[in-house]
Amino acid sequence: MALLEVKDLKVYYGVIQALKGINFHVDKGEIVALIGANGAGKTTTLHTISGLLKAGSGSVIYNGKDITGVPGHEIVKMGMAQVPEGRRVFADMTVAQNLMLGAYTRKDKAEAAGILEQVYTRFPRLKERQNQIAGTLSGGEQQMLAMGRALMSHPDIILMDEPSMGLSPLLVNEIFDIIRSVHEDGVTVLLVEQNAKKALSIADRAYVLETGEIKMEGKASDLLNDEGVRKAYLGE
């Protein structure tokens, strides 16, 4: 059964149609990649799913419930978290304060403390810097903080928007290892990524988005070897 279903989703920015009736699904336990060029509608798709943007028409079904139009903070309570493009950490707050904000849906303080320790185990660098102001962290550390903050809500599915953006190749590999590790711990992942080669290398399935429409879909391994995809997105 699909954990997440997007049905005929249309989104507008004024008179500009950003999404033109897209359909896709993410099954429980999968990593699904959404790839495409800048301006294809990838971030718009994630923001509409997570309640940050209003759908023009169509529906978003999560865990069998229609969540189209449900406010973002309510969607987080249902078990969905998002790692936003550009990290969006709270620059003037400490690492620990940023992480605890991710647990605002958790009323049980002992439970939140337990999740915090799990996050510190996954990201030892964040534990070392827990009292450091987030804005002084490196780009890679801020990306880890954004991921850790999302994991603090103990999500069933995590939406990741361009996690490798602006990072060195070494850090990109580290971030993708972390995504794989999060998935192995039972979290379903919807990954938006311009680094198509890396995304397809860890995904189960993938969709190619072009100017607001899904043009291709299939097993990630098949798309990785598709000549059209290789020329358009892999620089080969």
Regions of the chain where pLDDT drops below 70? 86-87, 106-107, 235-236
- Residue 229: per-residue pLDDT: 83
Compute the residue count for the chain: 236
Domain count across the chain? 1
Supply the range of the domain harboring residue 46: 2-233
Contacts 24+ apart (CB under 8 A), 177-186: 178/122, 178/123, 178/144, 178/147, 179/31, 180/31, 181/122, 182/122, 182/147, 182/151, 182/158, 183/31, 186/29
User: 133: which DSSP letter?
Assistant: B
Angle among Cα 200, 203, 208 to the nearest 5 degrees reads: 55
Which pLDDT score, from 0 to 100, does residue 190 have?
97
Q: What are phi and psi of 70, to 5 degrees?
A: -75, 135
Which residues neighbour 231 within 8 Å (Cβ) at sequence distance 6 or greater?
Answer: none
pLDDT given for residue 236 in this prediction? 55
What pTM was computed for the model?
A: 0.90
Q: Amino acid letter at 173?
A: N
What would the pLDDT profile of 123-144 be if each residue is shown by its tens digit?
A: 888 998 889 898 888 888 888 8
pLDDT at residue 235, as a whole number: 62
207-236 confidence digits (pLDDT tens): 999 999 999 999 999 998 888 888 777 765
Round to whole Å and give the CA distance between 212 and 10. 9
**DSSP three-state, residue 175:** helix
User: What Rg value do the Cα atoms of the chain yield, rounded?
Assistant: 17
Residues 62 and 68: their CA atoms lie apart, in Å, by: 9
CATH number at residue 205: 3.40.50.300
Nearest Cα to 140, choosing from 183, 97, 98, 169? 169
